[in-house]
A and B are shown apart, each in its own frame.
Chain A
Amino acid sequence: MTQGDPQVGRSIPRPNARRLLQGKGRFVADKTLPRMLHVAFVRSPYAHARILDVDLSAARAMPGVVAAYDGADIAAHVTPFVGILTHMTAMQSPPQPALACGVTHWQGEAVAMIVAQSRALAEDAAAVVVVDYEPLPAVCDMEAALDPASPLIHPDLGTNLCWERRIDSGDVDGAFAGAAHLVERRFVFGRHTGVTLEPRVCLFDYDGSEDRLTLHYSGQVPHMMQAVLAKHLGLPESHVRVIAEDVGGSFGIKIHTYGDEIATAVAAMLLRRPVQFAADRYESFLSDIHARDHRVSARAAIDANGKLLAVEIDDITGIGPYSVYPRSSAIEGNQVLNLTGAPYLIPAYRGRLRVVFQTKVPTCQYRGVGHPIAMAVMEGLMDDLAAASGRDPADLRAINLIPDDAYPVKSPQGILFADLSHQASLARLLDLMDYQALRAEQAAFRARGIHRGIGLASMVEITNPSPMFYGVGGAPVAAQDGATARLDASGAIHISNSVTEQGQGTETILAQIAADALGVDPSRITVTTGDTATVPYGGGTWASRGAGIGGEAMLRASLALKEQITGIAGAILQCDPTQLDLADGTVVDAAGQTRISLQALAQMVYYRGNELPPGLPTELIATRHFRVEGMPFVFSNGAMASYVEIDPDTGMIKLLGHWVVEDVGTILNPQLVDEQIRGGVVQGLGGALFEECHYDAEGQLLNATLADYLVPMAGEMPDITIAHIVTPTRTSVLGAKGAGEAGTTGAPGAVLNAVNDALRPFGAQISQMPMTPERILRAMGTIE
């Protein structure tokens, strides 16, 4: 091992945050290229309409306009995409054009495109495009869409059903029949969207002389985008370069294929000039993927001892008119089906999922992907079961959680869990929040007419996915990530990695890992991510995989470089390389004595190789890839609590406190992990309490502004207390699991239970998110 204090496990501030603090960020919209043009889109005002004619003549005559295209113009240069995964049997979704062709399927779908010298001029021209629409019936309600009498969104499919899946495991009916307590509840989860503070933005630069396309990309998956662009634009993949520098928030919004971005690429290729598309906030609401929008009917039963007997759910979700390419829009519902009840031992389980087309903005994977729903449903049922059986909610959980010494455990859904710590996490949580004291405080307040509630939630989070997530279904999504470590003549270490930085601190933890393996200070390490031309091939940043997969690849590459260094040092020093180690930027011997600096060694290799023994391998660069084997996913787990106060007169909820105990395995940088959790919790609280895309019956989004779509702001959010249990995953040397989505996963269930705990004296219960003041008042019967 290296000497000195290890870097992994320390809260090192992010070196790359300095430029962001000084206004020196490098966001895509900050970049200006010579002769760069700007795009504005004409977007459908109708949820569903036939496009009879698009007249671009007036627009083409407007000042500063360089080109104008309709759907057919763009379709001539790009193949349509189909968002299905082949392992999800019988899923169907029609080919989707980059711009609407013939029919528009949601309000906000791009119908025509203006390319002009500035965004303002492009908007001026877009305003004079004349589109002749014949309105078609909107299909908005997901349940009504399955009625045989419903209009069809895609007549060729013969149905509005995208995908259906059932699971039936164990004797569910028998279990319910013999139950001591059976509870039943219907949950409604509103439609959200990600609201990255930096709206989607892309800048395409096409060099016709070499037939090369460069995308300056605000996103999470450079290599996936490289594959998607190459395939659909008819370019060799090697001729497409994707460069992601600073990204102003992503949260899953920026891992998808957006037709307007593909059309921007087409324009850049046709015009042979750099073309930038920077979505404005209105476009973001109408074209960024939405998420959630589930209705879940659920039942659960326990025996007289409080042991869970069976769980049954029926989830229906509306995904808009297309399954989004290339990851599909069925994953969220699939996670609900797969993960409901995941923390608990459940003998029997039955589930049905229906994924339904509708004429609204397409939904797809967004932070937490189904987890917040699965956890809220089960945690809601657990509180109902506790109430029905007169048990404390914490006690009921404790007797049903999968024992910490029971792993590996396969759930009735067939999901394999390993290396989890539900029991320890719950125990730590109860201690952290001083559960008994808080209960006593709650009772004292209740006696004074102040209504507070405590809610608990146990949870799992899918992290570090194997190829079983997307690759198996045919999507061009790498489950493997790569890392390179190299030593330069100056003694500096350069590392690169295929996972990307969105501000979560990826580059910092990669440097920490490399620093330990190579015995150098992290400040001596330069990190490169995000550029398909310079980083190893890999999956990028999604499903909380950066630390666990990219980090493991980094560890292995760094150890391989170390072996190269000690091998060369052994030859120089005439000693056994296995007796050498690296510390403080030098090669040290078994006694810890410095023998040669990395700089001196590297300079000998690079400048004076003639001094080295002939035939000595002198590579000072190593690349290693890593993917998870033996497990489809590496789960992390945790437990959360929420403490709220309700004003029963107004239905207003005040968040008093939030506690999280999370087991992310090996903790690489405690501060960064905690900040991922805090940010995630607040995003989860946003969905639980504030955020909702309101649609009318005609498919019009009624709150497509940041004034009307309510994101969580500083004034309403609580301080969040965090503690950890550490159970390293055995699928890697590093032992790190993901942490990026845990907060969003657990927070909604915890606050749902807290609100209902506060409402219990009123005999009221709420099961719909967001839990708005109006819905609270309606649940209480204050408002009819």
Chain B
Amino acid sequence: MKPAPFEYVRATSVDDAMARYIEAEDARYLAGGQSLLAALNFRLDAPELLIDISQIGALRGIGRQGNAVIIGAMTRHAEVAADPLVTAHLPLLAQAVAHVAHPAIRHRGTIGGSIALADPASEMPACALALSAVLHVNGPDGLRTISADDFFRGIYETALMPGEILTQIEFPLPATEARHGFAELARRKGDYAMTGLALMTGPSPRIVWFALSDRPVRARTAEAALAAGETRANIAALATDGINVLGDLNASDAVKRHYARILLSRVLQEAGLP
């Protein structure tokens, strides 16, 4: 299980990385590599060049900027988990990141890599969506921002254009009264979830599923019911309303729909809803 041959370059800056991307016929950006390198080992992909962006200083670190916490895309999961700004202001993210695989994976894997990969069963994309993150992107055509709502397009599909690099994730500070909720059901600790939920209450609540459909998805009907002050049971009944639920080996679509109702009800209860 050895990857097909490729060239490797460690980019010194985002511009350097993009320039090399444009030069190459068939390049991939290498972030933490915890998914990409496994895929290459299986020869599911065989690019000619890997551009390692994980050492670019500008892409790393966590800071407060006005009413937002900004996390560099190449910040490791373990760094996110340990950061006091995250703990203080983004407790949802702090809680969720502990569910990302295992410690050794969290030491290498990055939040931006996870979001850019857009595995529908991953925690970080769901958190980005639940926290109304703004994704900062640099590309051959310049800088742009993409709302998390517009970012996830399907299984491993995002709004990123070829050559674009996710540079920062901007998390607006949640409203002070907003509460968070997170839960996932996995066969074993650290496994991809059978169904997962990331939730923010507040004036514009967000209920986001992962491991349920082809991408992280908002349960908009349930969100509306939550905003309208419906009862927990009524909200939970709408958990997967309008959502294309896709089964997998560990849980059929029917089970996932059931799990969604259970998780939503439980998480709302934990968040203090009657």
Contact = CB atoms under 8 A, between A and B. Distances in A.
Direct contact of A and B (CB under 8 A): yes
B28 interface: no
Contact of B255 (A120, A123, A773): A773
B262 to A, nearest CB: 5
A716 B251 contact: no
B259 A650 contact: yes
Given A124-B4, A649-B262, A773-B194, A715 B255 contact: no
Interface in B172-198: 185, 187-192, 194
B254 A783 contact: yes
A694 B190 contact: no
Contacts of B187: 690, 710, 772-773
B136 interface: no
A304 B205 CA distance: 63
A168 interface: no
Contacts of B1: 123, 280-282
Nearest to A775: B255
B43 A127 contact: yes
A703 interface: yes
Interface residues of A, number: 29
Contacts of A652: 185
A773 B1 CA distance: 32
A83 to B, nearest CB: 29
A708 interface: yes
A703 B249 contact: yes
B231 interface: no
Contacts, number: 60
Interface string A688-717: 001000100000001101011010010110
Nearest to A702: B249
B185 A650 contact: yes
Contacts of A650: 185, 259, 262
A705 B192 CA distance: 14
B5 interface: yes
A611 interface: no
Contacts of A707: 191-192
A124 B46 CA distance: 11
Contact of A713 (B188, B192, B255): B188
Main secondary structure of the interface of B (DSSP, over half): loop
Given A772-B250, A774-B250, A774-B251, A123 B2 contact: yes
Interface string B249-270: 1111011001100100000000
Contacts of B42: 282, 705
Interface string A466-494: 00000000000000000000000000000
A120 B46 CA distance: 13
Nearest to A692: B249
Given A120-B2, A690-B187, A783 B262 contact: no
A694 B42 CA distance: 19
Nearest to B261: A649
B185 to A, nearest CB: 6
- Which of A650, A702, A777 gathers the greatest number of chain B CB atoms within 10 Å? A650
B233 to A, nearest CB: 14
Interface in A759-784: 772-774, 777, 782-784
Nearest to B43: A127
A783 B255 contact: yes
A715 B259 contact: no
B189 A713 contact: yes
A119 interface: yes
Interface in B139-193: 185, 187-192
A650 B187 CA distance: 11
A772 B1 CA distance: 30
A774 B252 contact: yes
A479 B185 CA distance: 48
Contact of B258 (A123, A705, A782): A782
A281 B192 CA distance: 19
Contact of A784 (B4, B190, B249, B254): B254
Contacts of A773: 185, 187, 194, 250-251, 255
Nearest to B101: A707
Contacts of A649: 262
Given A710-B188, A773-B194, A127 B4 contact: yes
Contacts of B259: 650
Contacts of B43: 123, 127
A309 to B, nearest CB: 40
Nearest to B195: A650
A690 B188 contact: yes
Nearest to A651: B255
A715 B188 CA distance: 7
Interface string A374-407: 0000000000000000000000000000000000
Nearest to A279: B1
Contacts of B4: 124, 127
Contacts of A120: 2-3, 5
Given A123-B2, A690-B188, A715-B190, A783 B249 contact: no
Query: Which are the 6 A-B pairs with shortest beta-carbon distances?
Result: A715-B189, A280-B1, A120-B2, A649-B262, A774-B255, A783-B254
Interface of A: 119-120, 123-124, 127, 280-282, 649-650, 652, 690, 694, 702-703, 705, 707-708, 710, 713, 715-716, 772-774, 777, 782-784
Interface of B: 1-5, 42-43, 185, 187-192, 194, 249-252, 254-255, 258-259, 262
Given A282-B1, A773-B185, A773-B251, 9 more contacts: A120-B2, A127-B4, A127-B43, A652-B185, A707-B192, A708-B249, A710-B188, A774-B250, A777-B258
